[in-house]
């Protein structure tokens, strides 16, 4: 069975979605840079190993990333899954796990990289918004796209209501991508992701079964 390590910084709602999906994957450990991250308690309650690598305990980003990388490697993980991990990673760390680290971003990349994606989408008058699962590369939110899900932007939306609908899609998309990964349904080929059997991902909540 393939093994993943999940990185979190807060409540771990996407972690919860992954665990509750009962995927054919072993969550080897949940690691947080914050000792008060609520997702740690959830993981421990489900018998998953947890670890804190507190970024405040290190003199700089390189030292923190080295310790975090060592903690991940100790778990013999096949994939590093970022789920609300709110730290900028150094190029050296990203190269260390190149092709083995994915993230979920609350926007339809390449639009709206970075923070405050929902507010920015509203300010630009977007009619469609959503989320993206992508490989992590040195450019912020610029890695090859694995899959996306979209939601309509409603006339009375504010950033909070839009965020809630996008988050509901995240909770379906991320487990679906991990299930597909465990089945070998896609692979990274240079700067693009290739899906087996020309698989395509429709919008909204209609995801293929694996």
Q: How far is it, in rounded angstroms, from Cα 127 to Cα 142? A: 22
Tell me how many domains the chain contains. Answer: 2
What is the distance between the terminal CA atoms of the chain, rounded to a whole angstrom?
Answer: 15
Residue 1's Cβ-count burial label (10 Å; 0-12, 13-18, 19+) is exposed
Q: Where are the beta strands (DSSP E) in 79-127?
A: 79-82, 101-105
| Residue 149 sits in the same domain as residue 195 | yes
Give me the pLDDT at residue 72, please: 98
pLDDT exceeds cutoff 50 at 204 = no
pLDDT exceeds cutoff 90 at 87 = yes
pLDDT exceeds cutoff 50 at 92 = yes
Tell me the mean pLDDT in the region 98-119: 98
**What are the φ and ψ backbone dihedral angles of 172, each rounded to 5 degrees?**
-100, -40
What are 195's two structure tokens? 């899906």
**How confident is residue 198, by pLDDT bands cut at 50, 70 and 90?**
low
Q: What is the DSSP letter of 203?
A: S
User: β-strand 128-135 against 145-152: which pairing, if any?
Assistant: antiparallel
| Residue 70 sits in the same domain as residue 130 | no
| Residue 88 sits in the same domain as residue 117 | no
CATH of the domain at 42: 3.40.50.170
* 206 among known catalytic residues: no
pLDDT in tens, 11-70: 999 999 999 999 999 999 999 999 999 999 999 999 999 999 999 999 999 999 999 999
**How confident is residue 199, by pLDDT bands cut at 50, 70 and 90?**
low
Lowest mean pLDDT among 119-123, 127-131, 203-207: 203-207
Place of tokens 């912020």: 140
| Residue 140 sits in the same domain as residue 198 | yes
13 or 202: whose pLDDT is higher? 13
Q: Which of 46, 55, 105, 118 is catalytic?
A: 105
Identify whether the C-beta of residue 68 lies closer than 8 Å to the C-beta of residue 90. no
Give me the pLDDT at residue 26, please: 98
**How confident is residue 205, by pLDDT bands cut at 50, 70 and 90?**
very low
**How confident is residue 196, by pLDDT bands cut at 50, 70 and 90?**
confident
Q: Tell me the pLDDT of the chain averaged across its residues.
A: 94
Residues above pLDDT 70, as percent of the chain: 93
Residues 6+ away with beta carbon under 8 Å from 125: none
User: β-strand 79-82 against 3-8: which pairing, if any?
Assistant: parallel
| Residue 199 sits in the same domain as residue 158 | yes
Which of 97, 122, 150 represents a domain boundary (last residue)?
97
Q: How far is it, in rounded angstroms, from Cα 127 to Cα 125? A: 6
Give me the pLDDT at residue 133, please: 98
């Amino acid at each position: 069975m393939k093994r993943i390590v999940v990185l979190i910084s807060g409540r771990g709602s996407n972690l919860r979605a992954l665990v509750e999906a009962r995927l054919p994957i072993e969550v080897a450990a949940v690691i947080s840079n914050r000792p008060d991250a609520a997702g740690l308690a959830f993981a421990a309650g489900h018998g998953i190993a947890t670890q804190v690598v507190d970024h405040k305990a290190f003199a700089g980003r390189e030292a923190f990333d080295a310790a975090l990388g060592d903690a991940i490697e100790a778990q013999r993980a096949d994939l590093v899954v970022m789920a609300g991990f709110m730290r900028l990673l150094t190029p050296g760390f990203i190269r260390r796990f190149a092709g083995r680290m994915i993230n979920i971003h609350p926007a339809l990349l390449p639009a709206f990289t970075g923070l405050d994606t929902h507010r920015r989408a509203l300010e630009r008058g977007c009619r469609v918004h959503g989320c993206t699962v992508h490989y992590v590369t040195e450019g912020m939110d610029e890695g090859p796209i694995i899959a996306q899900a979209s939601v309509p932007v409603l006339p009375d939306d504010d950033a909070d209501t839009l965020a809630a609908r996008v988050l509901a899609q995240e909770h379906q998309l991320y487990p679906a991508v991990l299930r597909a990964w465990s089945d070998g349904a896609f692979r990274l080929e240079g700067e693009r992701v290739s899906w087996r059997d020309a698989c395509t991902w429709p919008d909204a909540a209609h995801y293929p079964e694996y």
